Structure 1
Amino acid sequence: MKPPRRSKDPWDAAEAVFRPAAPTIPEVVKKPAIPNAKETVSLRLDQDVLEAFQADGPGWQDRINAALRAAAGL
């Protein structure tokens, strides 16, 4: 007589299915392609703050970056 193809206990059957599905995740170290490269981020600013930086014309993102560097003490 052949053994049953599936376990009669649903819990054992579910564990048998998902046990091999636990992959190991390799550790990935993300390095910038270019040293000191700028990174794109999404940042929520108050509308009046954004308008004040944009009012001085082009380069407002660089001015925000400079203000953040000064605030961070860099």
Structure 2
Amino acid sequence: MKDIATKPKPLTIDQKQQLERLRAMPDEQIDTVDIPEAPAENWRYARRGALYRPLKQSVTIRLDADVLQWFKDHAAGRGYQSAINAVLRQHVAKTDSDKG
């Protein structure tokens, strides 16, 4: 289950302060020397809408008690429902890729 995307950890106070300082700076004062430009060939891997978050829909589903308990025990700091959704999404993606 390690490959399931998780919610990002909350920012620390120091990280928030750093972001505020950067936000207040004009773009030309931000040092980007250590950030290389992406080669043009990398754009062929670009995907539009990759950050799209689908709308959630509330449903009632009956699961085996042991399966539900497993997800509750292994949710790793996030909701067990999100973990179930992630597993179902992986299955759908795999099924779609097997067809094509």
Instruction: Provide TM-score, normalisation by structure 2.
Output: 0.36
| The structure with more helix, counted as a fraction of residues | 2
Looking at CA atoms only, which structure, 1 or 2, has the larger radius of gyration? 1
